[in-house]
């Protein structure tokens, strides 16, 4: 029987049926929500450390409204910056976590939750706390066989410029050599390494001094007599490299291009009043909005901000921190940074890793053994020179300060009353401008120490009731300040807060209606809760200001007469600098254009 349909019609009917079936399958699939997996990086934090962690999802999703529930106090895990801040693209939650020194080794869930349509949505990620706690050994004679072959084996390898740039960013690669160090401990002791340096092969002129008066140089006629010594170069740990990464976020090439786009949008907005014809004015206004909005957003997508990833890599456990614990009969890799300028290499040799390695010379390791033995002196050398550890122990097991540690050795002090801190001023500072802090109280003993978190401060002046100390470098967040007397007694902690510097760039739109109601996004850094925004000299009510994250504020513009007005931003107290920062180019109010023919 002859078919009533042609071949072409049969093919078309088959395609139509296939499309309908596929659409039904797709619709059914979309009714099942995709499985979202939450992850945390880094997932392991050692006791006594502070880390910036990042929580993301696979597949990536908008995390607006999510927060992280702080664990119970018995875990020893503290949140320094609230319950999570959104990244610029809302695809990550950022947390700064401190693990207390006495926290136990454990793995526990962190709960991530949000309220949506009256329902609480919960997810979990696992965080692991590790702790190295050496077994206490009472003072005793040195055990037989310990100390015959004291050795710390070491190998060093500088990273290439490109590898350093890919991991830590362009500015770090331009300023530092990243050097990977492999260490092996065969000393018979667990070692706590506090500092790493290099006995370089660079010779420098050092003035001869009079042995009877060390402050007086030896003269050879009219010239100071000198001799040659090898230059010692101290490696830099993560705490000092971190500001380099943060500075690149503000003043780097990407930031320059982004500010240039914002400036172009502001400039184009300024030309709007010169257009009187309705059509060209509307077209130019659309162009200006595109530059301030879609073009800027497109640039952010095409050239993403990698700062968070680079800071996260800096916080990796392999990068040298304030100290490194190296158990006996173990090996470990660590990474330190050496300023490029310190090696004084010619331009053609700066990327020759063999010449860089040769210039670094031998390795110097400064630290102390964790276990104590009586009547024992430990001197460990690596390479061709440089004392790594020096420590003398007496019958009581107490020891002198490790040589080369930078601390001052002093006779044992008599027992003192615990120091007390009444006030500290100021109570907060800006990371890029740490300054000094004055501490008042009582029972401060000579050779007292001041600690900001885990960082020791340099003492500028001292009396039994007042200390002036140089604030050490720390990441943004709140740390505990304590005063510690030489006998180990310390004051009750006081909070000191580090803030990122407040900077203000541009906005996603530079103009709007005189009727108000326009939503404007302000881009910058260092915004904190309670940030205040003024438009044309009038402070906006809190309901018109939304803090999206530390880099973004969203405001609702009030009604205002036509013209350009300044937008000023200031962080609330105790942020140290109360001088308002203004948005580049301000904001231009434009009166609605009416058609004269109507």
- What HEC string does 492-509 produce? CCEEEEEECCCEEEEECC
pLDDT: which is higher, 131 or 314:
314
For residue 402, what pLDDT is reported?
33
For the chain, give the longest Cα–Cα distance: 125
DSSP string, 87-155: -TTSS-EEEEEEE-TTPPPEEEEEEEEEEETTEEEEEEEEEEEE---PPP----SPPTTTTTT--EEEE
The tokens 């002090």 sit on which residue? 413
Whole-model pTM above 0.85? Answer: no
pLDDT: which is higher, 532 or 89:
532
> In terms of DSSP bridges, do strands 119-130 and 106-116 run parallel, antiparallel, or are they unpaired?
antiparallel
Burial class (CB in 10 A: 0-12, 13-18, 19+), 548: middle
Residue 422 has pLDDT above 90, yes or no: yes
* Residues 557-571, mean pLDDT to the nearest whole number: 92
pLDDT band, residue 142 (cuts 50/70/90) = very low
pLDDT: which is higher, 303 or 452:
452
CA pseudo-torsion sign 19, 22, 28, 32: negative
Instruction: Tell me the C-alpha distance between 74 and 85, whole Å.
Output: 24
In a 13 Å sphere around the CA of 169, the CA atoms on its Cβ side amount to 26
Do residues 399 and 373 make contact, with C-beta atoms less than 8 angstroms apart? no
pLDDT band, residue 31 (cuts 50/70/90) = very low
pLDDT tens-digit map of 314-370: 766 567 766 677 777 778 888 889 999 888 888 888 888 888 888 888 888 877 666
* Residues 256-264, mean pLDDT to the nearest whole number: 78
For residue 252, what pLDDT is reported?
75
Tell me the percentage of the chain whose pLDDT exceeds 70.
75
* Residues 224-247, mean pLDDT to the nearest whole number: 76
* Residues 364-383, mean pLDDT to the nearest whole number: 50
Instruction: Tell me the C-alpha distance between 108 and 127, whole Å.
Output: 6
Burial class (CB in 10 A: 0-12, 13-18, 19+), 237: buried
For residue 181, what pLDDT is reported?
87
pLDDT band, residue 544 (cuts 50/70/90) = very high
Q: CB within 8 A of 449, min separation 6: which ones?
A: 456, 483, 484
For residue 408, what pLDDT is reported?
32
pLDDT tens-digit map of 439-495: 999 999 888 899 998 888 888 888 889 999 988 888 888 899 999 988 889 999 999
For residue 477, what pLDDT is reported?
85
pLDDT: which is higher, 52 or 597:
52
pLDDT: which is higher, 334 or 290:
334
pLDDT band, residue 545 (cuts 50/70/90) = very high
For residue 287, what pLDDT is reported?
75
pLDDT: which is higher, 144 or 72:
72
Segment of 71-80, 109-118, 260-269, 526-535 carrying the highest mean pLDDT? 526-535
Indicate left, alpha or beta for 492 from its phi (over 0: left) and psi (-120 to 50: alpha).
Answer: beta
Q: CB within 8 A of 8, min separation 6: which ones?
A: none
Instruction: Tell me the C-alpha distance between 506 and 381, whole Å.
Output: 55
Instruction: Tell me the C-alpha distance between 357 and 350, whole Å.
Output: 11
For residue 467, what pLDDT is reported?
94
pLDDT band, residue 90 (cuts 50/70/90) = confident
Q: Quick one: angle between helices 238-251 and 253-270, nearest 10?
A: 30
Nearest CA to 71 out of 83, 81, 63 is that of 83
For residue 129, what pLDDT is reported?
84
Bridge partners of 441, per DSSP, are 421
574 upstream amide cis, omega within 30 of 0: yes
252: tokens are: 């780097």
Bridge partners of 338, per DSSP, are 177
CA distances from 71 to 79, 119, 122 (A): 9, 22, 15
Residue 211 has pLDDT above 70, yes or no: no
422: tokens are: 């009444």
Nearest CA to 565 out of 544, 548, 592, 540 is that of 540
The tokens 């007397």 sit on which residue? 485
For residue 28, what pLDDT is reported?
44
Do residues 284 and 272 make contact, with C-beta atoms less than 8 angstroms apart? yes
Segment of 105-114, 276-285, 400-409 carrying the highest mean pLDDT? 105-114
Burial class (CB in 10 A: 0-12, 13-18, 19+), 69: middle
For residue 316, what pLDDT is reported?
65
* Residues 395-423, mean pLDDT to the nearest whole number: 48
């Amino acid at each position: 029987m002859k078919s009533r349909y042609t071949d072409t019609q049969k093919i078309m009917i088959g395609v139509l049926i296939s499309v309908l079936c596929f659409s039904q399958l797709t619709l059914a699939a979309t009714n099942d929500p995709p499985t979202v997996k939450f992850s945390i990086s880094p997932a392991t934090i050692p006791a006594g450390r502070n880390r910036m962690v990042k929580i993301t999802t696979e597949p990536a999703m908008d995390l607006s409204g999510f927060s992280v529930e702080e664990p119970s106090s018995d875990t020893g895990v503290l949140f320094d910056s609230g319950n999570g801040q959104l990244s610029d693209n809302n695809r990550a939650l950022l947390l700064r976590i401190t693990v207390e020194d006495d926290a136990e080794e454990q793995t526990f869930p962190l709960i991530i939750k949000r309220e949506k349509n009256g329902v609480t949505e919960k997810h979990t990620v696992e965080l692991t706390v590790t702790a190295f706690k050496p077994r206490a050994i009472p003072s005793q004679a040195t055990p037989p066989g310990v100390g015959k072959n004291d050795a710390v084996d070491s190998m060093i390898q500088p990273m290439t410029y490109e590898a350093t740039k890919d991991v830590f960013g362009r500015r770090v690669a331009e300023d530092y050599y990243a050097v990977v160090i492999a260490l092996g401990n065969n000393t018979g002791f667990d070692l706590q390494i506090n500092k790493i340096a290099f006995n370089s092969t660079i010779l420098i002129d050092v003035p001869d001094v009079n042995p009877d008066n060390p402050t007086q140089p030896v003269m050879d006629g009219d010239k100071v007599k000198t001799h040659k010594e090898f230059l010692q170069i101290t490696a830099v740990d993560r705490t000092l490299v971190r500001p380099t990464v943060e500075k690149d976020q503000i003043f780097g090439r990407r930031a320059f291009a982004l500010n240039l786009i914002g400036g172009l949008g502001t400039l184009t907005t300024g030309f709007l009043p010169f257009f009187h014809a309705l059509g060209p004015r509307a077209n130019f206004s659309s162009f200006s909005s595109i530059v301030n909005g879609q073009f800027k957003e497109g640039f952010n997508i095409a050239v993403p901000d990698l700062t968070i990833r680079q800071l996260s890599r800096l916080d990796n456990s392999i990068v040298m921190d304030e100290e490194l614990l190296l158990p006996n009969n173990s090996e470990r890799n660590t990474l330190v940074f050496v300023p490029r300028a310190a090696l004084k290499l010619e331009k053609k040799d700066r990327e020759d890793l063999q010449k860089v390695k040769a210039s670094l010379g031998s390795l110097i390791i400064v630290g102390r053994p964790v276990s104590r033995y009586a009547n024992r002196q430990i001197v460990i050398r690596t390479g061709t020179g440089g004392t790594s550890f020096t420590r003398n122990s007496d019958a009581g097991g107490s020891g002198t300060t490790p040589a080369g540690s930078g601390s001052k050795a002093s006779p044992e002090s008599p027992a003192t009353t615990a120091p007390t801190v009444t006030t500290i001023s100021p109570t907060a500072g800006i990371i890029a401008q740490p300054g000094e802090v004055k501490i008042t109280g009582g029972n401060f003993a000579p050779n007292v120490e001041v600690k900001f978190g885990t960082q020791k401060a340099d003492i500028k002046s001292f009396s039994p009731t007042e200390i002036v100390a140089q604030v050490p470098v720390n990441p943004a967040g709140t740390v505990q300040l304590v005063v510690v007397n030489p006998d180990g007694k310390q004051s009750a902690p006081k909070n000191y807060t580090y803030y990122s510097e407040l900077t203000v760039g541009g906005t996603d739109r530079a103009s709007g209606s005189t009727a108000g109601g326009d939503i404007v996004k302000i881009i910058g850094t260092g915004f904190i809760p309670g940030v205040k925004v003024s438009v044309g000299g009038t402070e906006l009510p809190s309901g018109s200001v939304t803090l999206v994250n530390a880099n973004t504020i969203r405001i609702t513009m009030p009604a205002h007469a036509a013209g350009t007005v300044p937008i000023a931003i200031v962080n609330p107290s105790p942020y140290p600098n109360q001088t308002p920062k203004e948005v580049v180019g301000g904001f231009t109010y434009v009166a609605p254009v009416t058609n004269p023919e109507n």
